[in-house]
Chain A
Amino acid sequence: MKKYLSIISLMVFTLAVSAKQIVVCSSCSVKSIQKAIDLSTKGDEILIKEGIYKEHDLVITKQISIKGENHPTIDGELLGTVFSIKTDSFLMSGLKIINVGHSYTKDFAAVLVSKSKDFTISDMILEKVFFGFLIEKSKKGIIENNFVSSENTDEAGAGNGIHMWHCFDMTVRNNEVHNMRDGIYFEFVKRTVIYDNHSYHNIRYGLHFMFSNNNEYYRNKFENNGAGVAVMFSKFIKMRDNKFILNWGTASYGLLLKEIYDAEIHNNTFSDNTIGINIEGSTRINYSHNTFKSNGWAIKVRGACYKNNFSENNFIQNAFDIAYNSKLNGNRFDKNYWTEYTGYDLDKDGVGDIPYRPVKLFSYVVNQTPETIVLLRSLFVDIINFSEKISPVFTPDDLMDNAPSMFMIE
């Protein structure tokens, strides 16, 4: 009996502890978030009511959850990081954080998470921040349904929206990031899924990652970013159903691939970019079912690319379909649909009877002398392209699609 009593009393005690809720508001007994954090113990919930709280450098080392009611505003007054979290299994949602400090030497963030695991950050609104979410050496976290924005104009003085460094098994979904330096930035991030995000109007890249293997990116939309999306030095990544739109400028790409190995790029849409995909030193990549529409260059292949496979893609109304400046190196183009294809299909099997050469002479000339682009669409250029098409001299003569599709690929 005594034993039971002690167990029951223990249970009641723990229940009482875990269920404790600390309410923060201007008329409550707890008026500041800092105080609520000080009062809390493991398992508590801090509920912040609507209002404006001018606080920063809030350090959380306990397993608590912080929730906001109607997005209470936490104003960092441009003084530094707002939340620094160093604990596992925490939960944060429904807050609005504004005015994070700017610095050229320190990475101030709205929410800094380090060495944590199993956490969730959701439904946050971050405005006028330096870094939005800065997550380091963490794993199994979920970042979802957040809005991150700032009012940056220069690259050096801006931070990244969702910045991860040395993280594993994370999930980043349904976030909206704009006007940051890089919308989403990963370095040494592994086994992470990124989906349904919308990253736009960022000064540099919509998405930027390096040394991040085995990640999956799908249904994201990258729009009108300064230089598009850049992905480098990574292996085994999957990108599918993403949209890369309207990345225009002197050095803008829909997607820049540099030193990427064994990747799948499937069913993405690249439209209205200066360069759809710029490929450099990337090997064993499968490009399939992508749509390239109204780009300056749909695909620009620089050196050191081996065994890339381009099959069943749609190339629609691009000024240049492919720019290519080296040997074929085992890269293959097969069964793509090209709007510029002028061949015929006598046996009506949906496959063109004569091969298509996607590299035009003018594209070769522009590669050598970029300024000649002023002659784009002139009659002379059409004539030289035509003569090159009939008997290739300058363009690699084995670079062709042997089975071009007659119909757009679904």
Chain B
Amino acid sequence: MLKILKYSFYDLMRSRWSYVYFFFYLILGFVLLFLNNDVSKAIITIMNIILVLTPLIGTIFGVMYYYDSREFTELLLAQPLKRSTIFMGQYFGVAISLALSLVLGLGIPFAAYGLFQSSEIWNFSSLLVTGAFLTFIFVALSYNLALSYENKIKGFGFAILMWLFFAVIYDGIFLILMMSFNDYPLDKMALIGSSLNPIDLSRILIILKLDISALLGYTGAVFKNFFGTMSGMVTSFGLLVAWVVFPIWRIVGKSRKKDF
């Protein structure tokens, strides 16, 4: 598996997309810090970008890579290799290279602007960790979709739709639900609803870290009591891990049965 992972990783490197992605974050980080020298403010801006962009790029890359390396996959399938090894290797190759581009691309400018002397280091690292998680989750989800649809257009379409659903539509439905059940106590519902969507969950984890938590205090300590405590942190990271593990498990299952 490691060998396939390595090949996938190098393949992405050679196709230069990893570099493009890496330099994009690098330039973004430097520009943001150049425009306002305040590390904590730049983190809030970056949060917005990470929450929208990492899932989108993860989705597109996942689908694209799967369809693009189809011939290579077929070649590998002809070898005496376990199917799960092949697909896991490819998946981790893509996900790790994307996550690495993100972490290094943003990490370098912030480190250069004195992150290590700043008290924001924990906020920043939690931002990068959730960003990496989102990459792993959305690459896995898009791999699932690509495995399910032979038709590239369909696969792409559904992948983009999936991203749109998690990034925008889910929140819309959630908001409408909350507004229509206005008369009922909504604390629990808000809590559950926001932890079921990985993007929402990451957003809340970062907001709580960035101490905009003052706001959440208003509607009830429920959020802070849940996400702010150790058990809440463990639960929410557990959910993020589950969001990675479940799609991976499905990739393995699906690839085993799939007729190539």
A319 to B219 alpha-carbon distance, docked (Å): 15
Asked if A390 is at the interface (CB within 8 A of a chain B CB), the reply is: no
B213 neighbours in A (Cβ, 8 Å): 248
B72 interface contact, C-beta 8 A? no
Contact stretch, chosen from A54-62, A117-125, A152-160, A371-379: A371-379
Contact indicator B171/A370 (Cβ below 8 Å): no
- Cross-chain contact B215 with A371 (CB below 8 angstroms): no
**Given A248-B214, A377-B47: A371 and B187 within 8 A (CB)?**
yes
Partner of B190, one of A275, A374, A378: A374
From residue A247, how far is it (CB to closest CB) to chain B in Å? 9
Q: Which residues of B are found within 8 Å of A378, using beta-carbon distances?
A: 51, 171, 199-200, 203
- Residue B31, interface by CB 8 Å: no
A319 touches B200 (CB 8 A): no
Binds A, one of B7-15, B131-139, B145-153, B178-186: B178-186
> Please, which residues of chain B bring their CB within 8 A of the CB of A319?
212, 215
| Minimum distance in angstroms from B46 CB to a CB of chain A | 12
Evaluate contact between A380 and B172: CB separation under 8 angstroms. Answer: yes
Within the complex, the shortest CB–CB distance from B157 to chain A, in Å, comes to 20
Contact-residue bracket for chain A? 20 to 34
CB<8 Å pairs between A and B, sample of 26? A248-B217, A249-B217, A250-B217, A272-B214, A274-B214, A274-B217, A319-B212, A368-B182, A369-B182, A371-B187, A371-B190, A371-B220, A372-B175, A374-B191, A374-B200, A374-B204, A375-B171, A375-B200, A378-B171, A378-B200, A378-B203, A379-B168, A380-B167, A380-B171, A380-B175, A381-B171
Q: Do B175 and A373 touch (CB < 8 A)?
A: no
CB of B260 closer than 8 Å to a CB of A: no
Whether B57 sits at the interface, judged by CB under 8 Å, is: no
A296 touches B218 (CB 8 A): yes
Q: Is the C-beta of A5 less than 8 angstroms from some C-beta in chain B?
A: no
Q: Cβ of B51: which chain A residues have Cβ within 8 Å of it? A: 378-379
* Cβ-defined partner of A377 (8 Å) among B174, B186, B207: B207
Count of chain B residues with a beta carbon within 8 Å of a chain A beta carbon: 38
Q: Is A250 touching B221 in the complex (CB atoms < 8 A)?
A: yes
Q: Is A12 at the interface (CB under 8 A from chain B)?
A: no
Contact present for B48 and A369 (CB under 8 Å):
no
- Residues of chain A touching chain B, judged by Cβ–Cβ distance below 8 Å, are 248-250, 252, 272-275, 295-296, 317, 319, 365, 368-381, 383
The one of A296, A317, A372, A383 in contact with B179, judged by C-beta atoms closer than 8 angstroms, is A372
**Does B223 sit at the interface, judged by CB under 8 A?**
yes
CA distance A90 to B3 in the complex (A): 90
Nearest A residue to B224 by beta-carbon distance? A250
Q: Determine if B178 and A273 form an interchain contact, defined as CB atoms under 8 angstroms apart.
A: no
- Are B223 and A374 neighbours in the complex by a CB distance under 8 Å? yes
Q: Is the CB of B178 within 8 A of A369?
A: yes
Give chain A residues whose Cβ lies under 8 Å from the Cβ of B48: 377
Contacts of A377 in B (CB 8 A): 47-48, 203, 207, 212
Give the residue name and chain of the A residue nearest to B223 (CB): A374
CA distance A370 to B215 in the complex (A): 10
What's the minimum C-beta distance from B162 to chain A, rounded to whole angstroms?
Answer: 15
Closest to B197 in A: A378
Cα A275 to Cα B187 with chains together (Å): 21
Chain A, residue nearest B169 (CB): A380
Are B172's CB and A250's CB within 8 A? no
Distance of A250 Cα from B51 Cα, bound (Å): 27
Contacts of A383 in B (CB 8 A): 168
Contacting pair A369 B214 (CB below 8 A): no
Additional 12 contacts, C-beta under 8 A, given A250-B220, A371-B186: A248-B217, A250-B219, A319-B212, A369-B179, A374-B193, A374-B200, A375-B171, A377-B47, A378-B51, A378-B200, A379-B52, A383-B168
Question: Which listed residue (B169, B186, B212, B221) contacts A369, Cβ 8 A?
Answer: B186
Partner of B178 from the list A248, A249, A372, A381 (CB cut-off 8 Å) is: A372
Bound together, the chains give a CA A369 to CA B204 distance in angstroms of 18
Contact of A380 among B168, B182, B220 (CB under 8 A): B168
A274, A370, A377, most chain B CB atoms within 10 A? A377
Contacts of B172 in A (CB 8 A): 380
10 shortest interchain CB distances as A-B pairs? A380-B171, A371-B186, A296-B215, A371-B190, A370-B219, A248-B214, A374-B194, A274-B214, A374-B190, A378-B171
Q: Which of A250, A252, A372, A376 is B212 in contact with, Cβ under 8 Å?
A: A376
Compute how far the CA of A378 lies from the CA of B179 in the bound complex, rounded to whole angstroms: 16
Q: Which residue of chain A has the shortest Cβ distance to B186 in the bound complex?
A: A371
Tell whether B16 is near chain A: CB-to-CB under 8 Å. no
* B252 on the A face (CB < 8 A): no
CB-CB under 8 A from A381, the residues of chain B are: 171, 175
Assembly CA distance A365 to B219 (angstroms): 13
